[in-house]
A = this chain, B = another copy of it.
Amino acid sequence: MKYPTGRKKRPIKQNRSNLGMTLESDLDVTNNYYLNNNIAVIHKKPTPIQVVNVNYPARNKAKITEAYYKTPSTTDYNGIYKGKYLDFDAKETSAKTSFPLRNIHEHQVEHLRMVKKHGGISFIIVHWKYHDKYFLLPTQIILKYWDNKKGRKSIPYSDFVSYGYEITFSYHPRLDYLKIIDKVYF
């Protein structure tokens, strides 16, 4: 597949362009692989929704007719790996040089902090779409920027390269982040 020269600036996801996958579905596939191969039990939490109205057009079939998305009070993913509690959030960014902290809710940062404090493994996975790279970034690096109220409101890409861990995209499993957990935490 060839694109006109005008599109050359953005790296073309050669092998993935026809899959139409997002970070969320790549992680779902990865977590299913971990589950089916008895490696870890990690699930994405459902999106929190505030239900306002429900109809019952048919027996046993509730139809929600009014509802709203709520701000999540925790991260999206958690589970157990080698007996350890593991907790993370996944984010995508189109940014080039730094990851804006407004992409993470305050509740989520505080949750990651608490998990770390209680002896769990907590981090974020960020897909840098411009660079087409995936990084696992430990909570301590997020907190370094988050807790510095006078400092910048974003984490530089160079910090992901220096203090984060790149996750290589492959097929089976798609985003093998537990390989990094093995190296860093065990």
A35: interface (CB < 8 Å): yes
CB proximity to B under 8 Å, residues A95-143:
111, 114-115, 117-120
CB neighbours (8 Å) of A70 from chain B are 46
The answer to whether B41 touches A82 (Cβ under 8 A) is no
| Pair A63/B64 contact, Cβ less than 8 Å | no
Size bracket, chain A contacts: 35 or more
Say which residue of B40, B67, B73, B78 sits within 8 Å of A67 (CB atoms): B67
CB atoms of B67 and A49 under 8 A apart:
yes
A21 neighbours in B (Cβ, 8 Å):
none
Q: Which of B78, B115, B119 contacts A82 (CB 8 A)?
A: B119
Q: Given contacts A46-B48, A49-B47, are A118 and B67 in contact (CB under 8 A)?
A: no
The answer to whether A114 and B35 touch (CB under 8 A), given A46-B48, A46-B49, A63-B68, is yes
Contact B83 A40 (CB under 8 A): no
Given A47-B49, A118-B40, check contact A78 B78 (CB 8 Å): yes
A41 touching B114 in the complex, CB below 8 Å, given contacts A49-B47, A63-B66, A68-B64: yes
Write 9 A-B pairs (CB below 8 A) sorted by A numbering.
A35-B114, A41-B118, A45-B46, A61-B68, A62-B68, A63-B68, A78-B79, A83-B120, A84-B85
Apart from A65-B66, A80-B120, A83-B84, 15 more pairs, CB < 8 Å:
A38-B117, A41-B120, A46-B48, A47-B51, A51-B67, A61-B68, A63-B66, A63-B67, A64-B64, A64-B69, A65-B65, A78-B79, A80-B87, A80-B118, A83-B119
